Amino acid sequence: MIKTKLPVFESHIDEKTNKLVIDDKEINITIDTSLFAEERWEINFPHNAKNETIFAYIERLKSDGNLDPAHAMSHLKALYCFLEGDDIADFKSFCQLFAITDTKRLARLVEKIKGVFEIIIDSATTDSKN
């Protein structure tokens, strides 16, 4: 298990100005590269899992290079299967942690997703050689 932080956002209405306030924050997570990630993939995304493993899915996502708001859901599906944390109750609550229409916040998320995918692929390659 690899501990790290994930950039998320929290919003509220300022009572004095009656305007939306969006605050950046980070949540503590662990990256779980165990076999349990594949089980989460099969349980949560059976339509995808019947066609490919989670690792094949990540490799395909990496090779297409489309990590933008239109493709964010696909990447979040894969990411969700490898993450554990107190703030992640289910896939719906996980998705609600991100503001994918905000380019600044999306850029931070994209960088984190790329980094996590690299760790996942590297650890899968390392594990398969042992």
Q: What pLDDT sits at residue 127? A: 47
Cα(75)–Cα(95) distance, integer angstroms: 11
Query: Over the range 115-128, which residues count as b (16 or more CB within 10 Å of their CB) and which as e?
Result: ebbeebeeebeeee
| Number of helical H runs and strand E runs in the chain | 6, 3
Q: What pLDDT sits at residue 13? A: 92
**What is this structure's pTM?**
0.78
Residue-range definition of the domain harbouring residue 91: 2-129
Domains of the chain: total: 1
Q: What pLDDT sits at residue 86? A: 92
Q: What pLDDT sits at residue 85? A: 92
Is the pLDDT at 130 greater than 60? The verdict is: no
Q: What pLDDT sits at residue 125? A: 53
CB-CB contact of 79 with 88 (8 Å): no
Task: Assign 57 to helix, strand or coil.
Answer: helix
Q: What pLDDT sits at residue 128? A: 42
Cα(52)–Cα(35) distance, integer angstroms: 15
- Average pLDDT estimate for 26-41: 90
